[in-house]
Amino acid sequence: MAQKLIYTNHVAQELDRLVEAIAPSNIVVIVDSNTKSFVLPRMQAESEAIAKASVIEVAPGDANKNLESLSSIWKQMQEAGCNRLSLVINLGGGMVTDMGAFAASTFKRGVKFINVPTTLLAAVDASVGGKTGINYNGLKNEIGVFNEADAVIISSTFFNTLNDQEKLSGYGEMIKHALLSSKEEYESLLKHDVTNIDPDKMLELIKSSVAVKEKIVTEDPREKGLRKALNLGHTVGHAFEELSIERKSPIPHGYAVVFGIVCELILASKKAGFPNAEVTRFASYIKDTYGVFPFTCKEYDRLIALMHHDKKNKNSDEINFSLLEAPGTIVLDCVASDDEIKEAFDLYRELSGE
Amino acid sequence: MAQKLIYTNHVAQELDRLVEAIAPSNIVVIVDSNTKSFVLPRMQAESEAIAKASVIEVAPGDANKNLESLSSIWKQMQEAGCNRLSLVINLGGGMVTDMGAFAASTFKRGVKFINVPTTLLAAVDASVGGKTGINYNGLKNEIGVFNEADAVIISSTFFNTLNDQEKLSGYGEMIKHALLSSKEEYESLLKHDVTNIDPDKMLELIKSSVAVKEKIVTEDPREKGLRKALNLGHTVGHAFEELSIERKSPIPHGYAVVFGIVCELILASKKAGFPNAEVTRFASYIKDTYGVFPFTCKEYDRLIALMHHDKKNKNSDEINFSLLEAPGTIVLDCVASDDEIKEAFDLYRELSGE
């Protein structure tokens, strides 16, 4: 991967060093209202680069990762006098890094940007790998480009502002990476209590986790093949996430992913030889740690319709999955019929004790 | 250059061959109201790919190369069921190829696209070289990305729908390419009457002209150095173009460029050793062929302010030019003071007989 990943708990120091090397004509820092309150003041005190940066604030939450917010970023970049030699620093969760990176990638056909993820979810997933973009007309990440940050500063120092749910959400993507990597990584991850890990140990775990994604993205930056492995859990997970939004009680992304992984491991046990006993054990771990996603058989059709809309499906009459034969052994492009998916839903609900 | 440039006067045939090789899941063709009336019906009759494509129409003219039109393209791509394996064909002038290419480059983080320029200006300039984008908040090409078309089909068959002014406008960029290339190319170009060249000869001239741009863009796709040579005539030219818009009587882009070249050759004679006699000869050719851009000394400050806003200037307190020492000998990053530019304006007006 061309981008520079820097793991550190001395963020301000590393950031200032990077900015000095880049020597931009001016700097803007993009924050949402949360990071503006909880992270920016500290960074302004500690980092020379952030202290002199123009601040661009966006409203928080995935619902605001839209064209209106993007356009307001562009306008404020103009007002701040940005040119091709400007630098954008994205300081926030995945919503800020996705949209801020897209704004930087398109302003005057691209200026440099550095991601400083402030949530566990963004640190292990969104901020790394070059996917940028916004939601559009009801579809997630519909508009964007592939473009890697000049650097990503990954740290665990901001996580004291996160609640347990936010930590578990990020840990969901780490569990996914571990499953894609090896039995050892996966076994090891299930032993930790993410709500109570010290920052240095956490940084070490993040580093191993991002290395899994990094390896895959380096081989296939544009998602033509192997990168689809990173969709593990996301085909079903996105449908759960969308349904939860339709019900007006949205679940965190990483929760949707782990619930999705359970369903997709059930499918994998049927279609790719993933061991049954391991499915049961994993489902029980997830239930104990994350709870379950409750739904009835009346909602199966809606869930399947949502999956058909998922952009990863080439044709709308089949649903594609990245499945596992075992932890670390990936089988891409498995097609499942609607009936097979419904059968997996039945089993998921049974394992959930619904 | 990664993109495939195809020179042909059998457009439909070549296009169908390309589309067959790409085998897209579906096709959209982007046109403006002009190409919809004058070019699309013929292409629908001759090309299988165009016949089955969904048509997306945008309002014509640079004023409509904006976020609203872009958003309407994205929406219509969704409605047409586009996914990552869709193909976009941009059928039009530079406005359609710039904006259509940007829409394709950002829809689901990028789908394939083919440019089919229908004007001489787009054939020799806009459609080739990977610059995509829209105007934003009063600034030209403020938002966009560098992304090359999968193929560009360059032909002269559509030019019978162009008037003399449109032909001369395109020829302006060809004159620029010739000046960047060599004394021979430049001498040869001044001999033709562009309003009256047969299509096959025209195609041959375009091919030589695009080769000049191609060579430069291949060396420096992101405009970090040599590509700035292609700005010859554009620093002053853009200011003329903007002023003409403010006066509510816009001049065609290629006219602004050749008037800009005259001014920049005057500067070059002072700062880079371009021969005085050649400036006089060139100015006289341009005056006979294109007329002159009339302005008074009261407008000098406005023109210079417009140049300071030009995005190619790193710092707003100096103005950068790509100048010539001789035809084919380029001197990048020449800085001129406001007084030197005003002196060049004086001489331009003198040579123009104003």
The string of pLDDT tens digits covering residues B225-279 is 999 999 999 999 999 999 999 999 999 999 999 999 999 999 999 999 999 999 9
Structure confidence at residue A310 (pLDDT): 66
CATH of domain A4-161: 3.40.50.1970
Domain ranges of chain B: 4-162, 165-351
What letters, b where the CB count within 10 A reaches 16 and e where it falls short, cover A59-96? Answer: ebebebbbbebbbbbbebbbeeebbbebbbbbbbbbbb
Dihedral sign for Cα atoms in the order A263, A266, A270, A275: positive
The string of pLDDT tens digits covering residues A315-345 is 556 798 999 999 999 999 999 999 999 999 9
Fold of B165-351: Dehydroquinate synthase-like, alpha domain (1.20.1090)
Tokens of B86: 């869709």
Q: B19 CA to chain A: closest CA distance, Å?
A: 18
Same fold, A4-161 and A165-351: no
pTM of the shown model: 0.93
Nearest CA in chain A to B310: A83
**pLDDT of A98 higher than 70:** yes
Tokens of B347: 């001489």
B4-162: in CATH 3.40.50.1970: yes
Mutate one of A85, A99, A108, A217 to test the B interface: name it (highest B CB count within 10 A). Answer: A108
Nearest CA in chain A to B137: A75
Task: Tell me the β-bridge partners of B153.
Answer: B6
Instruction: Tally helices (H) and strands (E) across chain B.
Output: 15, 10
Structure confidence at residue B21 (pLDDT): 96
Burial class from Cβ neighbours inside 10 Å (0-12, 13-18, 19+) for residue A198 reads exposed
Nearest CA in chain B to A106: B144
Any chain A CB within 8 A of the CB of B25?
A: yes
Confidence of residue B1 (pLDDT cuts 50, 70, 90): very low
**pLDDT of A139 higher than 90:** no
Q: B104 CA to chain A: closest CA distance, Å?
A: 10
Name which residue leads in pLDDT, A214 or B3: A214
**Contact criterion met (CB < 8 Å) for A84 and B314:** yes
Any chain A CB within 8 A of the CB of B75?
A: yes
CA distance A338 to A318: 8
Confidence of residue A251 (pLDDT cuts 50, 70, 90): very high
- Contact predicate B31/B178, CB 8 Å: no
Give me the half-sphere count of Cα atoms (radius 13 Å) on the Cβ side of residue B305. 7
**Contact criterion met (CB < 8 Å) for B108 and A311:** yes
